[in-house]
Amino acid sequence: MLRPLFKCEVESLIVYVYWIKEDTYLKDFETIYKYQGRKYGMKGITITDFEKHKEIRSGFSTEKQEWQLPRKHARNLLRDMNVFLSV
């Protein structure tokens, strides 16, 4: 897709950033990012995987094209950001 622009293989990500308010949720993330005294976890999914598993959000008109990643897929498809950032 973007290879002509970057001269290499690239893929876009959708990234979800979670503010971890309770320590019980720390186990859900491999990497914890700290900023201004708060803890954050990040999960991502490639656009390709999102496109394969997306569904129209219920309660919205199909004309608006509002999509979501269903929970039934999210747990298996969302990856910790260190997977995408490691070299």
* Spans of all domains in the chain: 11-85
pLDDT of residue 72: 81
The one-letter code for the residue type at 29 is F
pLDDT of residue 60: 57
Phi then psi dihedrals of residue 46, to 5 deg? -70, 155
pLDDT of residue 80: 92
Which residue shows structure tokens 């969302």? 78
pLDDT of residue 69: 80
**% helix, strand, coil for the chain, step of 5:** 35, 30, 35
Low-confidence residues of the chain, pLDDT below 70? 1-7, 58-65, 87
